[in-house]
Amino acid sequence: MSGTDPAQGNFAAEFIERGRQAVARGDWKSAVTSWIAGSNAGSLESANLVPTAIPSLRTQADAGDVDAQALLAGVMLDFMDDSALPTVFSYATAAARAGHPAAQRTLGLMYRTGRGVEASAFQAETLFISAAKAGDSYAAFNLAGMHVSGHVRVRNHAECLRLLRQAVEGGVTEAAAVLGDRLAAIDEDAEALSWYLHAAQRGHIGAMFASGCRYRDGLGTASDPVQAVRWFLAALDSGKGDGIHEAIQLAKQGMTDEQIRIAGQLASCPSGAEMLIQIVHRRGD
């Protein structure tokens, strides 16, 4: 078991190269956007490149470029220490007043967490609503989180689900896992499983484990030990150790070696399947 995804590493390298090509064109906004994507894919090299764009972004931001102001505020909030918060607030406020949804989201995060400003759930909600209405997927996710935690003026389950679906459609994988949790809580098991699988297929470890449990227990689907072990092995290969205990229990309940190997192939973890077979046979001695 490698614990890493080679495809993810390839994506990160691609983002790094895209960023460098953008720098060669003098397009620092595209460069930093690519490097942030590489950082999100797990590349430390890409993460280290992001701050190198700050001086050039700042020149553009100071010249009144609203996109640069919004991007710079987000970069400084995520990649610099708290000494940068007054500058973050300044750029985020300027761009938010101009109606930039990403800046509204950044400013909303500051009010939500109390970083650099006095915490205000009211201000955070207002800013997230504006950004989400403008199509910002992460703002929709953040606002849904406020509904989950009860830090909105009027808690609304249906609105929470709508916001989570908006976030998923915008590519926020974590939102699919949370949507699964919210639906599971009201026994909408079939739809909950569909969202867990959506997140699991995109690398969300918790959703992998949840999918395995649901296939094991027949929640929202027929019980399927092969699919259950598939997702337990995938979770294990991605770093969630609980998966091995669950997989062993299922394998001991009558799964054949062939079934375990099929599960390993589906999980892209054949070595994990062989390890499981060895464990089961050893315990059966």
Q: How far is CA 146 from the centre of its chain?
A: 17
pLDDT over 90 percentage in the chain? 88
Q: Quote the pLDDT of residue 2.
A: 37
Domain residue ranges of the chain, discontinuous segments joined by +: 204-285
Let me know: does 199 contact 229? Beta carbons within 8 Å: no
Could you give the CA distance from residue 85 to residue 78 in angstroms, rounded to a whole number?
A: 10
- In tens, the pLDDT along 198-241 reads 999 999 999 999 999 999 999 999 999 999 999 999 999 888 88
- In tens, the pLDDT along 108-137 reads 999 999 999 999 999 999 999 999 999 999
Q: Quick one: pLDDT band at residue 3, thresholds 50, 70, 90?
A: very low
Q: Quote the pLDDT of residue 40.
A: 84
CB within 8 A of 263, min separation 6: which ones?
225, 226, 227, 228, 229, 230, 233, 273
Could you give the CA distance from residue 141 to residue 68 in angstroms, rounded to a whole number?
A: 23
Q: Quote the pLDDT of residue 9.
A: 52
pTM of the full structure: 0.89
Mean pLDDT (the chain) is 93
Q: State phi, psi for 44 to the nearest 5 degrees.
A: -65, -35
The distance in angstroms from the start CA to the end CA of the chain is: 25
- pLDDT above 80 for 10: no
- pLDDT above 80 for 52: yes
Q: Quote the pLDDT of residue 6.
A: 43
- Count of all residues that appear for the chain in the document: 285
Q: Quick one: pLDDT band at residue 189, thresholds 50, 70, 90?
A: very high
- In tens, the pLDDT along 12-42 reads 889 999 999 999 999 999 999 999 999 987 8
**Helix 85-97 / helix 101-113 crossing angle, nearest 10 deg:** 140
Could you give the CA distance from residue 62 to residue 201 in angstroms, rounded to a whole number?
A: 42
Q: Quote the pLDDT of residue 281.
A: 87
User: 130 is written with which tokens?
Assistant: 């504006």
CB within 8 A of 102, min separation 6: which ones?
70, 71, 74, 95, 131, 136
Q: Quote the pLDDT of residue 125.
A: 98
Let me know: does 70 contact 88? Beta carbons within 8 Å: no
Average pLDDT over residues 249-257: 94
Q: State phi, psi for 134 to the nearest 5 degrees.
A: -85, 0
Q: Quote the pLDDT of residue 178.
A: 98
Could you give the CA distance from residue 240 to residue 234 in angstroms, rounded to a whole number?
A: 9
DSSP state of 87: H
